[in-house]
Structure 1
Amino acid sequence: MLRSIRRSLGRKLLVAVGLPSLAFTLALVLWLRHRTRFAAPDLEPVYGIAVIAILLFGALMGVTFALAMRWVIEQPLQRLAAGLRHVREGDYLYRLPVEGPDELGMVAETFNTTLAALTDLHARRIEDERERVLTAQLEARVKELTLLFDLARRLGGTLELDRLVATLTELVGRGLGDHAFALLLAEEGTGDLVVRSVSGLPESANGVRIRAGEGPAGWAVRERATVLVKDTGADPRRPVLAWQGEAQGSILAVPMIHREDCAGVLAFFRPATDAFPPDEVRLLESVAGQAALAIENARLHQKMVRLSQSDALTGVHNRRSLFARLDMERERCERFDHTMALALVDVDRFKQFNEAFGHAAGDGILRRVAELLAGAVRKVDLVARYGGEEFAVIFPRADRAAALLAAEKLRQAVEAAALPHDASERGRVTISVGVAVWPDDARDLGALIDAADAALYAAKRAGRDAVRAHEAGMRVHPGRRRDVRTTADAEADA
């Protein structure tokens, strides 16, 4: 009963107004009866009827009041409450009907006006949020396009593989702000992945070798597809690189594929699970495509350079490369006041070997001698095929004593190999070596080559399988055919 009264404004008004009025009327009738009871006893029945009439009238007025309250107040207020519920549920387009100019009508009109303002505010907020999202997306696209443009511009500006690797590490690894990044290149021949550059990892990671199918990077190479490990703790493809100790996170391995060849893998690590959104994965796949093309072009360029500088038969440098290096070393000698030595090497009695065993066997001997010479020199030295069965070796920053020791090492390397040569007095392949030193023996390249050739001629006169350094008078020895071909001559021959 009390709850029903508390939940209805009409009932509250009925109780607050009707009951006091009814009580007051009854009290008035009872007081009149008391005052007239003895003065007019014949009015006693009238008072009973009056009390009943008052009660009936009070009941009728109560019903009328309740209906009026329901129609005039409760229903408009219920509609107002329903409107508020619509707003609370997000229906900002709902409007209350304005049923009159009274206070409830004003409330409804005010409600509609306020709701319209809220609707406009909500619409502006939605528009602002949409603009913010669009702006953020536009900024992300601009960033991606800028990265791709810078990458294309800088990768297209060089054909040096080391510079390409450094550029990729700078733009992709550091530019995207990843926790850790590694660039792995596929090794020609084996197909293994080798770490060439890192960001956010110790430098000791460089050189780590990964086979196809090992870890996410090896899996990406084998499957020729992007591998996303959302949780390193739950994925069976355990990482091979020590990304961040044993920290759990996510790994993205994107293969750099050009046509059907995989040039390597871009590998990323973040110390959070599922940290690579789809948009970023697509961007990195585009980056990997550009990188693959640039790396393949660089490798092709390196191969073409090697072919242009290498002798087709023996694999060592050719005459063009020899004279280019001689010219460069000459400039260094003049600039820094250094010495340089040139050795000419001749395979003894090679013509007889060819006649006895054929040209195919002779070619095999030349290849083997070239391998022995290349294996017996320093990394800074250069071994080249000079022509026919002759080789040339450049010893930068070597004086006469050092050059003779190096030349003797070459002779001993061929002697120790004991390559069979039945047409030779010693029964094995031997070499003769002539050495000349810049600037002691010559001041120009033509004269330096001629001095080394004269020393080689002296080694052959001494019985072959010998090393001789240039001495005064050797170049004018009677019977020697002088070799004074210059760089220009060599380039013309090539």
Structure 2
Amino acid sequence: MSFRARLNLFFLLLVVVPLIAVGVVLLRTIDGAARGKVESALASEARAVSSVAREQQEAADSVSGQLARDRALAAALERGDTAAVRARAAELLAPTTDARRIRLTLKQGGDVVDVGSRTAILPAQHTLISPKDKRPLADLETSVVGPKAFVRRVTRLTGREVQIRNASDGRVIAGVVRTTGVIPGPGEVGATGKGGFTAVTIRQRGFGPGAQDVVLLAAGTQAKASKGERLALVGTLILFLALAAAGALAVSRSLQRQVGELLAGAQRLGRGEFDQEIAATGDDELAQLAEAFNAMSRQLRRRLDELQAERARLRAAIRRIGETFAANLDREGLLEIVAQAAADGVRADVGRARMAVGDREEIALTGELGDLEAVIDAAESRVRGGGDGLVSDGELHALAVVMGTEGGLHGVVAVARREVPFTAADAEMVSYLSGQAAVSLENVGRHEEAEREAHTDALTGLSNRRRFDELLAAAVDRAHRDGRPVSLLVLDLDRFKEINDQHGHQTGDAVLREVAWTLRSGVRGIDAPARLGGEEFGVILPATDAAGAITLAERLRIGVEQIRVTSSTGTELRVTTSVGIGTVAGASAETGELVALADGALYRAKREGRNRTVTADASAEQG
């Protein structure tokens, strides 16, 4: 075989085989893309289904609250009368309430009362507590929706075929009946064992130990490329093959003379050696090809240098973001680093990050604004109004993106520079950095909120027992160091249990909130009121002797005595409190001693008739 024939054969093989491989890969790719679209859509629809399920469970939770307040049901549970419980539960089914199924597991004896539709799904769970002695009476499970109604709603929402299955045995409870074989596990998207479906499974809690799986099905044809797409791809590949064959025949003779040099030059390019260019002799296509190789080599060399510099900038920016994520939830530090990283990432002269925190705005700035202030302000204003955030006056250019999350955190990251306008790639980079920062800033807010919740009583808004103990220990420690007195008031509402028993816990909660407001508004700025538990409150009085404590205690006691709360039946209730005072001072001050003194004085106030103030040394009493 001649060299020309071998060269033609080599050229054909070099072109044809890769094109066929590319064709196979592209066919798989477009199939994979279609499958990915279906799986992404199913995953999004699964989240929507979970939201619908939560709505139904919240509705069931509301009905459970009604059942928990039913006196007849509570009385039957108190007596342990299973038959009465069953009868009353049946009466509470729809239309009395929205409940379709009620299941009660009695704590005493372990009997199970189950009334209503056995196919009802998505139950809410409650534990019923005795209002008398606070012991648990029964575990309550309530559902307000059946599987068929839920299937209809999900079908309208997603347009998919829907199944509801028993999680334990895979039996179809409601929805379409399809032979699918094995389905994906809970929370997973994938192909079924049979039928060629793509499915997603959403597991939901059922009654008792059971569970149900909600399965969304997509036909197998939706996960493959269309016939038209396949024909277009095959036609394109055939066209490329024909052109390649014609080109091989046309250039084979001229390739013989210079193929060696071109091959050597191509091998150098393949090894990444861009410094040595290919010698281009003559004026034919091969010479132009050699010059094209040389131009490509120069361009690749420049682009490689740019990519290396860009990679260094990106690494520095990402490292700053990572450092901030681990910077002890420092909001101010995070904003500064985001501003710096955004400016460095797009080679801007100025970077600014700003966000609202409560009623104030925090701003971090890197670089000097100068003549860029007007254009960066305009970009921020545009993006807040829903625009694209790109502003330019010909010489000065700015880019701004919103920094926000689904949780509602909002701020703006903006950059500005001179001469070179910003590109879509720059906007993508700043958007990525602001998105990462937004997640971290949201975590800062959650951390702060968790700190507040950990130290606050949810009902009254006062400090809780944990925070009270911390503040008391700190106050006694200061008294120990400074030699100054510290006093403690312990207040216990008189006959508060009678209010709860006779007028209900909602009225009792209203009384506790009014008492908390009285304490909060009646103490000094340095004092620390807290709810210690139940109807017991405490007030820490730093740098206060017994006489000052008595004066403040009496003011609070009288304030509580003036509280008026109207019950649900219209009865106006009054409340009084007994107050015990303890005082310690100097080097002998101890937390345990202070608490014991105040508690002892409180017990004396209770024994001596309530609605009075008693101090531990008995030197002064009021009431």
Q: Give 1:197 shift.
A: 3.4
Return the structure number with greater relative CO, CA threshold 8 A, min gap 6: 1
> Which one of the candidate residues 344, 352, 367 is aligned to 1:181?
352
* Correspondent of 2:528 among 373, 382, 394: 382
Q: Provide Cα deviations, 1:87-138, integer angstroms capped at 9, x if missing partner.
A: xxxxx968699xxxxxxxxxxxxxxxxxxxxx99x969x9677545533432
1:460, 1:300 → 2: CA distance? 43
Match of 1:100 in 2: none
In structure 2, C-alpha distance between the alignment counterparts of 1:458 and 1:274, rounded to whole Å: 81
Structure of larger gyration radius:
1
Q: How far is 1:330 from its partner?
A: 3.1
State how 1:462-481 maps to structure 2 within 5 Å: 464-471=610-617
2:445 maps to 299
User: Which structure has more helix as a fraction of its residues?
Assistant: 1
Whether the 8 Å contact between 2:580 and 2:614 is mirrored in structure 1 is: yes
How far residue 451 of structure 1 moved from its aligned partner, in angstroms, is 1.1
Q: Report Cα offsets for 1:453-484 as digits up to 9, x if no partner.
A: 2333455567654444432589xxxxxxxxxx
Residue matched to 1:279 = 425
Residue 157 to residue 181, structure 1, CA distance change in 2 (3 Å): closer
Cα 1:472–1:276 shift into 2, 3 Å: farther
TM-score, normalised by the number of residues in structure 1: 0.52
Amino acid at match of 1:414: V
- For 1:252, the aligned partner's letter is A
State how many pairs are aligned. Answer: 319
Match of 2:589 among 423, 430, 443: 443
Match of 1:141 among 297, 311, 329: 311
Is 1:166 the counterpart of 2:336? The answer is: no
Query: Match of 1:483?
Result: none
Quick one: distance in 2 between partners of 1:323 and 1:450? 14
1:228 and 2:398 are equivalent in the alignment: no
Partners in 1 of 2:523 and 2:561 — Cα distance? 15
Where in structure 2 are the equivalents of 1:71-470 lying within 5 Å?
131-158=301-328, 160=329, 163=330, 165-174=331-340, 176=342, 179=350, 181-185=352-356, 195-199=361-365, 215-216=381-382, 218-219=384-385, 227-231=388-392, 250-257=398-405, 260-268=406-414, 270=416, 276-377=422-523, 381-411=527-557, 413-415=559-561, 417-419=563-565, 428-439=574-585, 443-460=589-606, 464-470=610-616
1:313 shift after superposition: 3.9
Cα distance in 2 for residues equivalent to 1:406 and 1:93? 100
- Do the aligned residues in 2 keep the contact of 1:254 with 1:284 (CA within 8 Å)? no
Structure number having the greater strand percentage: 2
Alpha-carbon spacing, 1:388–1:250, altered in 2? closer, same or farther (3 Å): same
- 1:479 is aligned to none
- For the residue of structure 2 that corresponds to 1:169, the secondary structure is helix
Gaps of 5+ in 1: 1-91, 98-118, 188-192, 203-213, 221-225, 235-247, 475-494
Contact 2:476/2:589 (8 A) holds in 1: no
Assess, with a 3 A threshold, how the Cα gap between structure 1 residues 471 and 170 changes in structure 2: closer, same or farther: same
- Secondary structure of 1:254's counterpart equals strand
The letter for the 2-side match of 1:382 is A
The 2-side partners of 1:285 and 1:346 are apart by 56
CA 1:445–1:133 in structure 2 vs 1: closer, same or farther (change >3 Å)?
A: same
Report the CA distance shift for 1:157/1:249 in structure 2 as closer, same or farther (over 3 A): closer
Instruction: State the match for 2:174 in structure 1.
Output: none
The secondary structure found in structure 2 opposite 1:410 is helix
CA spacing shift, 1:300–1:176, aligned 2, 3 Å: closer
Q: Secondary structure at the match of 1:149?
A: helix
Q: How much has 1:401 moved relative to structure 2?
A: 5.0
Cα gap change, 1:271 to 1:280, in 2 (>3 Å): closer
Question: How far, CA to CA, are the matches of 1:264 and 1:338 in structure 2?
Answer: 47
Deviation at 1:391, TM superposition (A): 0.7
Secondary structure (helix, strand or coil) at the match of 1:471 reads coil
Would the aligned equivalents of 1:249 and 1:271 in 2 still touch at CA under 8 Å? yes
Q: What is the CA–CA distance in structure 1 between the aligned matches of 2:464 and 2:367, rounded to whole Å? A: 41
SS in 2 for 1:393: strand
Give 3-state SS (helix, strand or coil) of 1:314's partner.
Answer: coil
1:252, distance to aligned residue in structure 2 (A): 0.5
Distance 1:438 1:277, change over 3 A: farther
8 A contact 1:340–1:395 mirrored in 2: yes
Letter in 1 for 2:332: A
CA separation of 1:182 and 1:381: change in aligned 2, threshold 3 A: farther
1:351 is paired with a residue whose SS is: helix
* 1:363 CA displacement: 2.2
Offset of 1:157 from its aligned partner? 4.3
Counterpart CA distance in 2 for 1:407 and 1:218 is 53
| Alpha-carbon distance change, 394 to 140 in structure 1, aligned in 2, over 3 angstroms | farther
Residues 95 and 455 from structure 1, CA distance in 2 versus in 1: closer, same or farther, beyond 3 angstroms? Answer: same
Q: Distance in 2 between matches of 1:274 and 1:198?
A: 24
Structure 1 residue 449: Cα displacement: 0.9
Give the secondary-structure state (helix, strand or coil) at the position aligned to 2:589: coil
What letter matches 2:337 in structure 1?
A: L
Q: Distance in 2 between matches of 1:299 and 1:157?
A: 14
Amino acid at match of 2:326: G
Note the C-alpha offset of 1:419.
Answer: 3.5
Residue 432 of structure 1, CA deviation: 3.3
Q: CA distance change for structure 1 residues 138 and 375 in 2, over 3 Å: closer, same or farther?
A: farther
Alpha-carbon distance in structure 2 between the residues aligned to 1:301 and 1:265: 18
Contact 1:441 1:451 survives alignment (8 Å)? no
Question: Structure 1 residues 230, 309: closer, same or farther in 2, change over 3 A?
Answer: same
